[in-house]
Each structure stands twice: as structure tokens, then as C-alpha cells.
Amino acid sequence: MYWSIAAASFRQYSTYRVATLAGVFTNSVFGLIRASIMLAAITSAGGELSGYTIAQAATYVWLGQALLAPIEAFGTREIAERVHRGEVAIDLLRPAPFLALHYAQKLGRSCFLLLGRGIPPLLVGAAVTGLALPRSPLSYLLGAVSLLLAITVAFLADMMVNLAAFWLLETRGLTVVYTVVMNLLSGFLIPILWFPDWLLTIARATPFPSMVQTPIDTLSGRVPPLEALPLLAAQLGWTALLALAAAAMLHAGVRSLEVQGG
């Protein structure tokens, strides 16, 4: 059942060809802008900045652009809107558990977004600035696992923001705050190793680095496979914790839900 749901979600998003092309163009342009800024900063620092060389920084930028769409770094509002319209009652009556249903949809959507909007900008980056890719096959395997966990952590955190709609009449402000904090502390804007110590400590105490920083460091090979294992363990820990929190929010929200008409 979940495979069918994920496949249907993949097919649904594959029909938006013009939007996909526009997303590829936008991601590529912003990738070039981000790469030029980061490379200029590293060049002015003497060719290396907090462990990042020019090639590693370029790879960081383009992998970040590739992950932007699959993890949906700017958040979603579909579930919150369904709660406000009462359509969530239909979701709750379906034979599949609510969170599992939407997770399957998320995986199908993310698979298409990775292929359709993630890989093309990465190829642009490889052609324009070049990429520093790992030599160990284990880095690619661990990177794939880390990417799946990053998508899962991002899904659960975003779901919690959406589930706040059970108690809030308007969640747009909460979504904006979440998006700003997530983009900063996840390492999407700049690597968290470039943060001052106090901000780095705060970032590492949140699940946000598990969404961007960890999969990029693992996929790029900047962090060797053995050193990447604790990072993947942290991703697993955040997945379990956020899954419990999202399930608790859903349970509490359903108890307080009242849909007009019954």
C-alpha cells in the first residue's frame, strides 16, 4: 500500500514539467550566486576556511542546492490547510495511519524532486566549479542512508509545525519562523562550522544539522565513513524523538478536533 502511495505521489509531481524546469533554473542561478560568495570568502582567507577548501566549499553549495527541494527546506502548509478546512477528517478515516500515509507521499515526492530538481543543478555545478567527490564507495552508501534520514527528520519537524494548526487559527507566522531558523541552523546558508562557538553549540543541540549539514558532509566525503557513523546515529536519534513528538501532537490534536457536521 505504501509503495503504491509513494509511486502515485512520484507520478503526480512528475506532471509539473514547467515548474520543474523553473525550479532547476532557479536552483542553478542561486547556486552560482552562493558559490561565488563562498569561494570569494575562502579565497580571501587564504584558500581554506574552517576546514573547507575551495573545492569542498563548491561541493557543499551544490549538494545543498540538490537537497533543497527533496527535503523541502522552506516547509509545507498542506496539512495545516487541511486541518483548517476540516479535510483532515477524511485523512483520519483512511485505513492507513495518518503519519505513515503522508510519509509515503513525502518519499515519493522527494524521489522525484531529487531526480528532477536536485541532480540537474548538481551537474551544472560539476561543469562550472567542479566537485570534490569521495573516493570511498562507503561514503556514497552512508550518504544515501544519511539522505533518507535527512528527508525523514525534515518531514517530522515540518509535520509538527503543520500539526500546530489543531490549536492555531493561522500558522503562516510559525512556518516563517521555522523556515528562517531551519535554514540557518541546518547549515544550508553556510556550514555550521563557520558559526561562532555559542551558535554552533545551539545548532548542534537541534535536529536541523541532521537535515542538511550531515548528509552533505557524508555524501561529499569531507567526513570519513567511520567519523560519519556517529552523525548517522544522531540522525536516527532525532528521527525517533521527532516521531514520538509528532505522534503525541497528532493524538492530542485529534482529541481536540471538532469538524462541523459530525
- How much of the chain is in helix, strand and coil states, percent to nearest 5? 75, 0, 25
Residue 55 has what pLDDT?
Answer: 86
Domain boundaries, the chain: 2-255
**Among 158, 155, 153, 143, residue whose Cα is nearest residue 63:** 143
Q: Read off the pLDDT of residues 98-149 as tens digits, 9 standing for 90 and up.
A: 999 999 999 999 999 999 988 999 999 989 888 888 888 899 999 999 999 9
How many residues comprise the chain? 262
d(CA 245, CA 156): 9
What pTM value is reported for the model? 0.92
Residue 259 has what pLDDT?
Answer: 57
d(CA 212, CA 207): 10
pLDDT averaged over every residue in the chain = 89
Q: Read off the pLDDT of residues 19-62 as tens digits, 9 standing for 90 and up.
A: 889 988 998 999 999 889 888 888 888 878 877 888 888 899 99
In the chain, DSSP assigns E strands to 48-49, 52-53
Does the structure show a pLDDT above 70 at 262?
Answer: no
